Amino acid sequence: MTETKTSNKIGFFVRNQSIVVPIAAIFVAFFLGGILIFLQGVNPLVAYRAIFSEAWFDSDGLLRTFQKTTPLVLAGLAVTVGLRIGLFNIGAQGQLISAALASALAGIYITTLPPILHVLVSLTCGVIVGALWAGIAGLLKAYRGVHEVISTIMLNSIAIGILDYLVSNPFKEPDQALQRTKKIAETAILPNIGVIPFGFILAVIICLLVSWMLNRTTAGFRFNTVGKNKFAATYAGINMKLMVVTGMLLSGGLAGLGGAIETLGITYRFEPAFNAGLGFDGITIALLARANPLATIPAAILVGTLRAGGASLQFETGIEPEIVDVLLAITLLLVSAPILAKFLFKGKAQKSANVTSGWGN
Amino acid sequence: MLDFISENRKPIITLALVTVVAYVFYFLDEIKTTSVLVFGWGYAVPLVLAAMVGIIGERTGVVNIGIEGQMLMSAFASFFGSVITGSIYLGMVIGILAGLVMGAFLAVAAVKWEMDQIIAGVVINIVAAGLTSFFYAPGKTLPQLMPVVSIPILSDIPLIGPVFFRNGLFALATLFIVLAVNYAIFRTRWGLRSRAVGEYPSAADAAGINVLRTRMLNVTLAGALAGCAGAFLALEAAGTFARGLTAGRGFLALAIMIFGAWNPLGALAAALFFGLSTAIASQLQADEVINIPQQFVNLLPFVMTLVVLAIAVGRVRPPAAAGQPYTKEG
């Protein structure tokens, strides 16, 4: 009697290991990070309390946490959608920043639109630019067999260079030392509702939509089929080229939406320093969420919390905010490498995502 | 010798053409041509070394997207190793050891754990970026400069001498490393076995080659070359370490590997092409012959990579089993 009960309990953990493993990974990462913090002569508990009390128990801090989280949800979702179709979009960064600039320009230079419409138009500009930037990688993959990991990395660097030129020359805010654009028009601003930016609500809705699309629609079924087995998908008559291009467009569009929301709802202008590294955090979030669209929300909240609290960490304890990068890197390592899963579940461990494809297909 | 020439016709013709053109320009403007070539070769060195890492890995069937992270860790280790030990030579050794460790890490993740190779590589890059930026301490300087060594006789050749044979230790070693890797892959028992493992692992296994051990060994050893590339960047090229020092070179190297058709000499030619194009663009920019913003000149290698890949992929054949984990049947 009691024996079946225990095995049921273990069974519960084994069945839900996609939740158990990331949580265990976070704890191990915090433990190892704690050792690093301790070696720098600071009590780890004090350091972690500084992060979390700043990020969650302070109304300014809470707003900042949500502001950090909002674009991260969408960046994570962008990578997630790619993973589901077997594409590894490393270029969320480039897509996000080009979209951020595009929506900023729409927010600044379109002046004749009424408030809500102006926001919608600016968001759309961002989504389109993000999608097109990723679409280049999609086309290169579909028609020339260029692996998306390489092409999106190159497109990241190219985007950074072009944007750097654009904000230091044609679109630079006049009489300003910093390289950034002017502030967007009042009509293009996405407001905050209390401590929650409106963009965050939008991001959550998009997550729900994407989850529904992947799990409940024909298009989602096609996506998953392609992601699970390309050969079976081709045999079933799915147009692979079309799927690759659509997958990249969708992924880039989501990253673009993240950039656009950040510009319109958080930073109100484009400044390259604001969104450095968001796309790469998106990779961490997607792998932490095991490519589950709904799980990107808590994963993004975690990363957003650490990013928001990391700043106060240096102020209070002198620990460099880059400790957050170390914590995230260890978490990512433990989530994506099967070490922890094998340790916890032995032979019952599930395999994680699979995105390797040859150079030529 | 004749075999060698007929097997490597394309890279040899390219190198010969480049040499002739270079001497024509040398005749026209000695100083400028030398400086362009020095810049170009300096740009090419880490790319060539990193491309060797990719070639050795893929020839054995393991895709290495983590070269960037391996280089970054090695650059970090070699720089701070030099600072702490007070000797640039110990720093070189530490950098190469760091490369070996990073290579072993990919080997374990990709071969032993059968982790998705692309994800493993990307994770290596993110982990390397995180660790190096956390432990980075600004304001440190190298205890001494990388000594410049001239190889007797060879370094007296006009143009080629000062460019290739009067250099720091890593840049000098690079040419020999390429030749050695080329020889090892195509002319030794190890190379034949490695290629068999990368092309048709089950047949190699049936012939008695230990597929997993070969892959583990090669990916780990290749890491030492990533270590050389990283140490070159920190100790020889930049003379310092900065966050994100590698700046995407690990990925450019993969494009160069493909452009060179997984052939060490081909990769050397491809890297020279990248280096010279960048050097010429910078020179033209400096001479105000062309007037495009500096940001766009800096983008050239990345755009070239996309173009080169769009043209080259599909025309060259990768090792058949690159990217596929091997599980012994039965």
Q: Is the pLDDT of residue B270 over 50?
A: yes
CB contact under 8 A, A352 and B115: yes
Q: How far is CA A354 from CA A169, B102, B110, B117, in A?
A: 42, 22, 12, 9
Mean pLDDT of chain B, nearest integer: 90
Of B113, B116, B303, the CB nearest to A353: B116
For residues B163-189, average pLDDT: 93
* Sign of CA pseudo-dihedral A185, A186, A188, A194: positive
Domain ranges of chain B: 2-312
Q: Does A32 touch chain B (CB under 8 A)?
A: no
For the stretch B18-30, pLDDT in tens is 888 888 888 888 8
CB contact under 8 A, A154 and B129: no
Phi, psi of B316 (to 5 degrees): -110, 150
Q: Is the pLDDT of residue A301 over 70?
A: yes
For residues B7-36, average pLDDT: 83
Which amino acid is it at B294?
Q
Q: Mutation test of the interface with chain A: which of B68, B306, B317, choosing the one with the most A Cβ atoms within 10 A?
A: B306
For the stretch A138-189, pLDDT in tens is 999 999 888 888 899 899 999 999 999 999 888 888 887 788 888 988 888 8
Q: Is the pLDDT of residue A361 over 50?
A: no
E strands, chain A, in order: 192-193, 196-197
Residues 270-309 of chain A with CB under 8 A from chain B are 280, 283-284, 287
CB contact under 8 A, B136 and A169: no
**B94/A201 Cα distance (integer angstroms):** 50
> Is residue A143 included in any domain, yes or no?
yes
> Is residue A334 included in any domain, yes or no?
no
E strands, B37-172, in order: 149-150, 166-167
Q: Is the pLDDT of residue A360 over 50?
A: no
CB contact under 8 A, B302 and A154: yes
* pLDDT band at residue B199 under the 50/70/90 scheme: very high
- Work out the minimum CA distance from B35 to partner chain A, whole angstroms: 25
pLDDT the model gives residue B45: 96
For the stretch B85-108, pLDDT in tens is 999 999 999 999 999 999 999 999
Q: Is the pLDDT of residue A69 over 50?
A: yes
> Is residue A236 included in any domain, yes or no?
yes
CATH number of the domain that A312 lies in?
1.10.3470
Range of the domain at A209: 43-318
Q: Is the pLDDT of residue A289 over 50?
A: yes
Contacts of B293 in chain A (CB under 8 A): 165, 169
Tell me which of B25 and A99 has the higher pLDDT.
A99
Residues 161-220 of chain A with CB under 8 A from chain B are 161-162, 164-165, 168-169
pLDDT the model gives residue B277: 87
Of A161, A284, A339, the CB nearest to B299: A161
Q: Does B298 touch chain A (CB under 8 A)?
A: yes
Q: Does A319 touch chain B (CB under 8 A)?
A: no
> Is residue A146 included in any domain, yes or no?
yes
Q: Does A144 touch chain B (CB under 8 A)?
A: yes
Phi, psi of A192 (to 5 degrees): -95, 145
pLDDT the model gives residue A8: 66
> Is residue A267 included in any domain, yes or no?
yes
Q: Is the pLDDT of residue A228 over 50?
A: yes
Of B131, B254, B258, the CB nearest to A329: B131
The structure's pTM equals 0.89
For the stretch B113-152, pLDDT in tens is 888 888 889 889 989 998 999 899 888 889 888 888 888 8
Number of domains chain A contains: 1
A–B CB contacts, 8 A cutoff, strictly below: 136
> For domain B2-312, which architecture applies?
Orthogonal Bundle (1.10)
CB contact under 8 A, A360 and B258: no
**A278/A159 Cα distance (integer angstroms):** 14
ipTM for the predicted complex comes to 0.84
> Is residue A30 included in any domain, yes or no?
no
For residues B229-238, average pLDDT: 94
Of B130, B255, B293, the CB nearest to A329: B130
For residues B164-170, average pLDDT: 89
Q: Is the pLDDT of residue B66 over 50?
A: yes
pLDDT the model gives residue A285: 93
Q: Is the pLDDT of residue B233 over 70?
A: yes
Q: Is the pLDDT of residue A331 over 60?
A: yes
Phi, psi of B115 (to 5 degrees): -70, 150
Q: Is the pLDDT of residue A245 over 50?
A: yes
pLDDT the model gives residue A2: 46
Q: How far is CA A335 from CA A285, A300, B112, B190, in A?
A: 10, 15, 17, 35
Of A161, A339, A360, the CB nearest to B313: A360
Q: What percent of chain A has pLDDT over 70?
A: 93
Tell me which of B317 and B70 has the higher pLDDT.
B70
